[in-house]
Structure 1
Amino acid sequence: MTETFLPRKLPRYECLEQRSRRYPDLDAGAVEATLVLMRVSSDILEAYAAHLARNGTSQGRFSIMIVLDLHTDHVLLPSDLACQIGISRATVTGLLDGLEKDGFVERRQHPEDRRALTVHLTSAGLAFLEAILPDHYRRIAALMSGLDVEERRQLVGLLTKVAAKVDAIRLEFPAQPKVENLAL
């Protein structure tokens, strides 16, 4: 898991607003919302990883098994898993090696392309999921228990809007002049 290096105590809105005098592009509300979103996401992922580790698995292994379980009617290649989970093909290969060694997945020859392998959840993999999913879903329900149905829908809508703008962080903006020899 990627470490986030976020402070546990985030700066208050007023502090961010003061900084906006020095940095005119700083939108205090946008920075505050982003920091809270990142902190909460980090905390959820950390708790999620710990929960999965207690059950003897990792986020990557669990994600592969869930995708396979959700797509039992499709033939999935390792490259399909990489694309759906958002990880590299090499990472998928390593995860599949471990899952196959543990008997949770199996690779089979593709029915139409002898060069390709398909990936399938085994009965042991399905039994593993059936053993941990009830507790997993209870934990998710507990996480969201402070929100009613409408608030959850609003949260999903708002997060979907934010997700559509994530590329704004990835995109390169026009080059800023280099600052050389900063006076201290």
Structure 2
Amino acid sequence: MVEAKHHALLDEAQRRGHTNVAQLRLCFQLLSLSSSIDRDCATRLAPHGLSEGRFIVLFLLHGAGGTLPPHALAERAGVTRATISGLLDGLQREGLLQRRSDAEDGRRLQIVLTVQGRRLAAMLFDQHTQWIGGLFDALDAGEQQQLSTLLHKVWQRTDGGRASVA
């Protein structure tokens, strides 16, 4: 389950007699799993002309009742305003959303899902959540909780995990 690019690193660590080869293997297994999930996700979204970023924008808009201002979308998606602008441009070209002036303040912009955008977002959200959930079907509830706990313990040792505690 370790990608070829990581085998060379593992082999070199073993050759040098490092004592943490088992931990390296675990990290590379996790990275390989993550990459595989990302590739599968991209494969499932591509027929709809969507990247993960575009899907997240549709999902966020759908969850917010179909309308949000661009700055709120950027914040919720965890991207810059420039990035959100590019994502919105593409989705607008595809006819999945529109930019409209805010009814209360014409200087503000609202992003609104079109009928086609709402339909696609609802369908893909259902498909996507079923697919993701299915990845863990082989684990019983106790194993899922244990995996969650273990992943959280490892995450706490990352820079992001330590920063969230501070």
1:134 and 1:154 mapped to 2: Cα distance? 26
Percent identity reads 32
Q: Which is bigger in relative contact order (C-alpha 8 A, separation at least 6)?
A: 2
> How many aligned residue pairs are there?
159
Q: Which has the larger radius of gyration?
A: 1
The equivalent position to 1:7 in structure 2, one of 5, 8, 12, is 5
Aligned to 1:68: 61
SS of 2:139's equivalent in the other structure is: coil
- How many angstroms does 1:92 deviate by? 0.9
SS of 1:145's equivalent in the other structure is: coil
Structure with the bigger percentage of helix: 2
Using the size of structure 2 for normalisation, the TM-score is 0.76
Instruction: String of CA shifts for 1:100-155, please: whole Å, max 9, x gaps.
Output: 12221122223444332122222211111233344323322331122112222222
SS of 2:5's equivalent in the other structure is: coil
Where does 1:103-118 land on structure 2 (aligned, <5 Å)? 103-118=95-110
- 2:111 equivalent to 1:122: no
Q: What are structure 1's unaligned runs of at least 5 residues?
A: 21-26, 172-184
The equivalent position to 2:82 in structure 1, one of 90, 115, 122, is 90
- How many angstroms does 1:96 deviate by? 0.5
- How many angstroms does 1:29 deviate by? 4.6
Q: What are structure 2's unaligned runs of at least 5 residues?
A: none
Where does 1:26-37 land on structure 2 (aligned, <5 Å)? 27-37=20-30
Using the size of structure 1 for normalisation, the TM-score is 0.70
Report the RMSD for the aligned CA atoms in angstroms. 3.2
- 2:156 equivalent to 1:160: no
> Residue type of the partner of 1:7?
K
